[in-house]
Structure 1
Amino acid sequence: MSYEVRYSDSAKGRGLFSKTKLLCDTTILEEDPLVSCQFQWNAAYQYLACDHCLRPLETAQENATRLTGKMVELPHPECCCTDKSRFSSCPSCGLQYCSTECREEAYNQYHRILCTQTTDKNSSHPLEQLNEAWKQLHYPPETSTIFLVVRLLARILQAPNREAAIAQTLQFCHHTVNEDADLAHKLLGEKFAGQLSLLHNLLVAAVPHEGIEQFLTFEGFQSLLALIGTNGQGLGTSAISQWVKNTGTLPISQEERENLDSFVDNLYIQMDSNVGEFLNNEGVALYALQSACNHSCSPNAEPRFEHNNHRLSLVATRDIEEGEEIFISYLDECILGRSRHSRRKELVSNYLFECHCSKCEAEADEPDVTSEEDDDAEESMEDSS
């Protein structure tokens, strides 16, 4: 392996380090998650994805037609990756999977516990009640889902070695009770923080208790919410983006290439006009190795989803020297481009640490906010008055 997990001075805990020199664009590692789950509203709006790995269950043409709101006929249908002949469904509850392999993996890992044993949606089932409660408390844009907690607990219950599965889960839980409570409230937002008890009661009703009692106390529940809030990795898949990527390799003439590029540009304009930024099947996952990567405001790697499912690829974004720590950014591009003060404020609020990366240290003498952020703050104060 080209990496190892060991103690990191930067985080006073574990970190991921290179064991050899890695060139820019090198895939450092690939891993499947402990658990993953599509966002609840994303699924409700018919973003069709495998219930296990989030691989699209639409063809590229179906995807484009739904996202534009009009019938679209894509050229070069051979560039679509969707293979409906491989689709499979749970015979008891009807959940859809991209393959028999995914259906069996889901059943063996967590779905046997969670299967509703009915082909009809039963609104009185505890899982459906939990689903509806979460959706009412967590409207789009979604950042997580309580069903990641549900699957994580079911995974423990179905594990051949329950103690090992619990230990693996606990490696993500490292905050104090008060910190967990703050993070759990942050995940829901101030408006709905008082609904934690409702979600806790519904979760307790939805899963068996034996062997996981420590996670089903109110404090244990808050700890699990904090876990997914700080370690959950967002992911997205798309039939149309894979079609576009594949058309880029077609051996066609320059004129055909220009016409195809124009078609694709116009297609994205139509999709953006109809659904805005909500183009992908979106969800969240929990990864054992990727979660060992610490944050830097000047990262040297980034997670990608190059297989169009929940398999994560960690890719170097610049050359990494042997023995160097591998960093990713916990912040999105917008926040990453802001001042040191703004970045640190975001990290303290959502991850409970103050960043001391090389970029933050180099900017230590700069003003706390940028002029642009000052203007935004002044406008906000004027609006409130």
Structure 2
Amino acid sequence: MPVVATSSPSDQDLRTAVVSLKLAHPTLGISKIHALLLVNYPDWIVSEKRTKKALQSEGLTLQSSQSIAESNKSSTPTSQSLTNPKSSRSSKGSGSGVNNVFPSSKLISNLDLSKYSTKIEVRHFNKKKGKGLVAKEKILAGSPVWKEDPYVVAAEWEIYDLQLFGQACSFCTTPFTSTTTISLITSCPASCHARFCNRLCRDRSTRTHPLLCPVQNPASIPLLQWARKEEWMALHALACMTSRVMTLCQESKDPQGTKVAEDEWKIANSFATVSMEDRAKYHFHQGNQPDSESWRKAFDLYMQAFKEPPSLLDQKKLAKIMKKPLKADVSQGLFQYDAFLRNLGKMSLNLEGHGGLYVLHSHLNHSCQPNIAVHHLDQRTALSRITAIAMKDIEPGEELFITYVNPTMSVEQRRDELQQWGFGRCECKRCLKEEREELEAKSHMVGEGGDEDLLKFSQADLERELKIGLGVM
């Protein structure tokens, strides 16, 4: 008789089980891990949503096998590399797509690289590939290339929940633990839930927190609550970026302040961008994505939070923060519906795995043979800070790369995943080498009298390649 599911496992038992399955099958997604879980534990009653939460709690969603191996060494998921396109950003790597839509990005003319590193420089390659980072000098394997704090950060939901209960810093996202110096912790001046590691974090938060504070701007509450309910990190990140841009515009009390606001707006517009509409139209997505109805609801809540609060009291509170009107180009770039969809797409492309949006990190292009790994090393003092480390020796003039897909996948799987984000076929050295090896292996098998099915399969591959080359696929 078949085993009937009769019991619900404890959270600890479930986490232990999903970690074991994920480590054994690092390329499987949430749905397949869940299916495998039910096969291995037929007496358990577990929903896919609960499996997903267990994986997320262990930092085992949307990351590479290298990251998973690291998580086996450390129970803290924030030490993992940033490698997945959905959790970080999509590839801007080389390749010939089958459509003419691809992310656009802009150079930051006033970017001061000396704040980050003297070892690298920014280079613009072409319209399709966009910008990237190149070594100015030889960088030795294992050496740090730069450290970077986020432009804005939408904390992972587990950390965000801690922030709501005052158990993690509302600026740098570092959780408060037994080693935290309690006497240094400070609270939001408006007495909301927000608490900060120290005065420095509190002072830095003044560029984003006021418009997201439930006391200072209660109109933001429905937007943030809905983003949390839907686990829509891109929407949360857009709220953070909008808050930063709008707040900085209020600091423009003199010509120097005006320049600061203009520079910030240039940075906000520099990140690689593909509109949500284009992503949906050309199927540049992975898994379930919010639909047009969700976009519209998000836009309505966004407008209520930052431009048109529904109640008179909320309007007065917003006006108390926003004493100066936004410049026309900034207002249009934030509050027109098509601009909102572009900005949402921008967040989806550029967020790294733990919710941070980083200026220099966003310049990194993709390769299936990366030479840079990105880690969260300052976990006790600045969890959101990232460190870029050379994985091998990098010569002067050589471009810096990270990978956005699971490197253990086959060349076809990697290309398919990247194409879902609208960047065409990856043509990195590894992909071309593995493609040649696969074709040679197929040719050899056919030459040795392989079966008819293999011959048909090879012919189908050839036909597909020809169609792609002619632009009919």
Give the TM-score range, shorter chain.
0.5 to 0.7
- The correspondence for 1:106, drawn from 205, 211, 234, is 205
Residue 409 of structure 2 is aligned to residue 341 of structure 1: no
Identity over aligned residues, as a percent?
Answer: 25
Quick one: which amino acid aligns to residue 305 of structure 2?
A
Q: Provide Cα deviations, 1:51-79, integer angstroms capped at 9, x if missing partner.
A: 111112122xxxxxxxxxxxxxxxxxxxx
List per-residue Cα deviations over 1:142-176 (Å, max 9, x = no partner): 7x342211111111112243322222111114436
The answer to whether the aligner puts 1:56 opposite 2:148 as a matched pair is no
CA distance in 2, matches of 1:199, 1:177: 12
The whole-number CA distance in structure 2 between the counterparts of 1:149 and 1:131 is: 11
> Taking CA–CA contacts closer than 8 Å with sequence separation of 6 or more, which of the two structures ends up with the larger relative contact order?
1
Q: 1:87 to 1:185 in 2, by over 3 A?
A: farther
Gaps of 5+ in 2: 1-117, 249-256, 309-325, 442-473
Matched letter for residue 142 of structure 2? D
State the partner residue of 2:343: 224
Please give the alpha-carbon distance, in whole angstroms, between the structure 1 residues aligned to 2:174 and 2:277. 38
CA contact (8 A) 2:186 2:196 kept: yes
Report the secondary structure of 2:203's partner residue. Answer: helix
Match of 1:129 in 2: 222
- Secondary structure, counterpart of 2:215 in structure 1: coil
Query: Residue 146 of structure 1 aligns with which residue?
Result: 235
Which letter maps to 1:364?
A: E
Aligned equivalents of 1:350, 1:8: Cα separation in 2: 20
User: Following the alignment from structure 1 to structure 2, what is the Cα–Cα distance between the partners of residues 83 and 184?
Assistant: 49
Q: Does 1:327 align with 2:401?
A: yes
SS at match of 1:116: coil
State the alpha-carbon separation in 2 of the partners of residues 110 and 52 from structure 1.
9
Q: Following superposition of structure 1 onto structure 2, how do residues 77-96 of structure 1 map, counting pairs within 5 Å?
A: 80=179, 82-92=180-190, 93-96=192-195
Counterpart selection for 1:163 from 262, 287, 291: 262
Cα separation, 1, equivalents of 2:219 and 2:424: 36
2:241 aligns to what SS in structure 1? helix
Q: Distance in 2 between matches of 1:190 and 1:225?
A: 12
The residue aligned with 2:389 is: 315
CA distance in 2, matches of 1:49, 1:188: 30
Distance 2:424 2:198 in 1: 41
Aligned to 2:139: 22
The TM-score, its normalising length taken from structure 2, stands at 0.56
Q: Partners in 1 of 2:395 and 2:127 — Cα distance?
A: 17
Larger radius of gyration: 2
Query: Which residue of 1 is the match for residue 427 of structure 2?
Result: 356
Q: Distance in 2 between matches of 1:320 and 1:192?
A: 42
Q: Quick one: which amino acid aligns to residue 153 of structure 2?
A: S
- The 3 A distance-change label for structure 1 pair 158 and 322 is same
Provide the aligned length of Structure 1 versus Structure 2.
288
State how far apart, in whole Å, the 1-side matches of 2:302 and 2:345 are: 15
- Structure 1 pair 232–187 and aligned structure 2 pair: CA distance change class (3 A): farther
- Contact 1:37–1:51 (CA under 8 A) maintained in structure 2: no
Aligned mates of 1:226, 1:199 — CA distance in 2 = 13
Q: 1:353 to 1:363 in 2, by over 3 A?
A: same
- Offset at residue 37 of structure 1 (A): 2.1
TM-score, length-normalised on structure 1?
A: 0.67
How far the C-alpha of 1:194 sits from its partner, in A, is 2.8
Q: Distance in 2 between matches of 1:58 and 1:185?
A: 40
SS in 1 for 2:420: helix
Flag the 1:187–1:87 CA change in 2: closer, same or farther, 3 A: farther
Q: Which has the higher strand share?
A: 1
Identify unmatched segments of 5+ residues in structure 1.
Answer: 60-79, 236-283, 371-385
Q: Distance in 1 between matches of 2:386 and 2:172?
A: 11
What's the offset of the Cα at 1:114? 2.9
Q: Is the 8 A contact 1:303 1:315 kept in 2?
A: yes
Aligned amino acid, residue 195 of structure 1: S
